[in-house]
Amino acid sequence: MTELITSANAFINGYVWGWPMIVLLVGTGLLLTIVTGGLQFRYLGFALREVLGKINQKSTAAGEVSPFQAVATALASTVGVGNIAGVATAISIGGPGALFWLWVSGVLGMCTKFAEIVIALHYREPDATGQMRGGAMYVLRKGLGVPWLGTIFAGLVAVAAFGIGNMVQANSVAASLQASFGVDPATTGLLLAALTAAVILGGIKRIGQFTEYLVPFMALFYLAGGLFILVRFASELPEALMLVMTSAFEGSAAMGGFAGSTVMLAMRYGIARGLFSNEAGLGSAPLVHAAARTDHPVRQGLYGIFEVFVDTILVCTTSGLVILVTGVWSDGSTGAELAGRAFSVGLPGTWGNIVVTTSLVLFAYSTVIGWSYYGETAIVYLFGPRAALPYKIAWLLFIFLGAIGSLHLVWDVADTLNGLMAVPNLIAVLGSIGLLRRLIREFFSTPR
């Protein structure tokens, strides 16, 4: 039975994270960009001012966390191992051109993330305890009249969270600490579970209070290390950027094979890793944005543009360019190992290892925190608020199991379910385009 499930999951996963899903997600982002008149370009500056200029602004609107705490929690979930190891894998397999296609996924993903947040905020509602909840399941039930599809989405989130948001991250932390400092994975698992419990058992308010400090610190720490390397290797930067552009359309000779095949590899891995990192279209971020105190859905949607900008354009780009300017991208390494080599070459002494290891641990830990709330929201939708505490306890147990490397089949199946989240979510988004356009006109009809 186990072999049958493994084979079936591998077959489905090939489609879920392969070309069909890439085309669906990119196509949706392109359609939304056209429908909104390139809103992510026209209002990027506005979005940055909205977020950075109102970090400490208080609001009396309904909700549990401030708008910035919501985006910090969403960023905690999206800025993860994929921003380091995922980008490195994309470049090692798809060549430098993968970075260009990662940018494409980010630009289009800004509009997708904006749209799904706006629609989720419009249909959010308080649960039995009065806490604001929202997401694609509410859109499908209240807006499109297909509650059964909303139930499927919630079920996918509740289970998929244990993969991408829990076991994968815990395993990455354990492996990184064992390789760098010789820490036993079981010790890491227990410590990580304890630290997570201290945050998530306090609910979304404590999660928001924690992530609004953790996320800026970890992002700036990693970006500072990357910026130091890019300044140090500034003379190599123009050539690296040229390599990205030429490889995106002409292929990379170092990859072997004919040009067409390497261009397709660059496109596939760049877009796929970008989408995996920023999660635009999966419907995850709206689950926490729905808890924000805001006066209009579009205002919170702008935070989604900022979210993808930070995740893909800043953090992922830093990872990619550091790998290219240091010249290690074609040495045969991949994943976190390749990123570690790049930072070790670029930073003096042991600082490279310190920056990568610390960032991997913090990125993974923040993802565990953020995704716990996603899963909690889904389980509350399915079974009511009393299901939240048992779910959190199970969450802590799976952190330990992920750290010691157990239940790989659960991990793999959850990864597939994570990709499948996109299908009902995109149905919710595409079925609400008329509403989206009306809300955009409503918000911007008044001078801002």
- The ranges assigned to domains in the chain are 2-444
pLDDT value at position 18? 79
Tokens of 223: 């970006």
Nearest Cα to 448, choosing from 299, 293, 297? 299
- CATH topology for 2-444? Hydantoin permease (1.10.4160)
Distances 254 to 84, 112, 416 between C-alpha atoms, Å? 22, 34, 31
* Per-residue model confidence (pLDDT) at position 257: 42
3-class SS at 289? helix
**For residue 228, what pLDDT is reported?**
96
Return d(Cα 110, Cα 281) in angstroms, integer: 10
CB–CB of 368/195 below 8 Å? Answer: no
C-alpha to C-alpha distance for 14 and 12, rounded to whole angstroms: 5
The Cβ of residue 231 has, within 10 Å, a number of other Cβ atoms equal to: 10
Distinct helix (H) and strand (E) counts, the chain: 23, 2
pLDDT of residue 250: 78
Task: Kindly report each contact of residues 211-216 with a partner whose C-beta sits within 8 Å and lies 24 or more positions away, as own/partner.
Answer: 211/69, 211/72, 211/73, 211/75, 211/76, 211/366, 211/369, 211/370, 212/66, 212/68, 212/69, 212/72, 214/72, 214/76, 214/362, 214/366, 214/369, 215/72, 215/75, 215/76, 215/79, 215/366, 216/72
Tell me if residue 384 falls in helix, strand or coil.
Answer: coil
For residue 303, what pLDDT is reported? 94
- Give the three-class secondary structure for 125: strand
Q: Are strands 132-133 and 125-126 parallel, antiparallel or unpaired?
A: antiparallel
Is residue 400 within a helix (H) or strand (E), and if so which, with residue range?
Answer: helix 388-403
C-alpha distances in Å from residue 128, one per residue of 125, 141, 244: 10, 17, 52
Burial class (CB in 10 A: 0-12, 13-18, 19+), 175: middle
What pTM was estimated for this model as a whole?
0.93
Over its C-alpha atoms, the chain yields an Rg (Å, rounded) of 21
Please tell me the distance from the alpha carbon of residue 406 to that of residue 398, in angstroms, as a whole number.
Answer: 9
- Compute the distance between CA of residue 217 and CA of residue 236 in angstroms, rounded to an integer: 28
The angle at the Cα of 71, spanning 67 to 76, to the nearest 5 degrees, equals 145
User: Which parts of the chain have pLDDT scores under 70?
Assistant: 1, 56-60, 251-261, 406-408, 411, 447-448
Residues 165, 162: Cα–Cα separation, whole Å: 6
Task: Single out the residue of 218, 209, 220, 207 nearest to residue 56, CA to CA.
Answer: 209
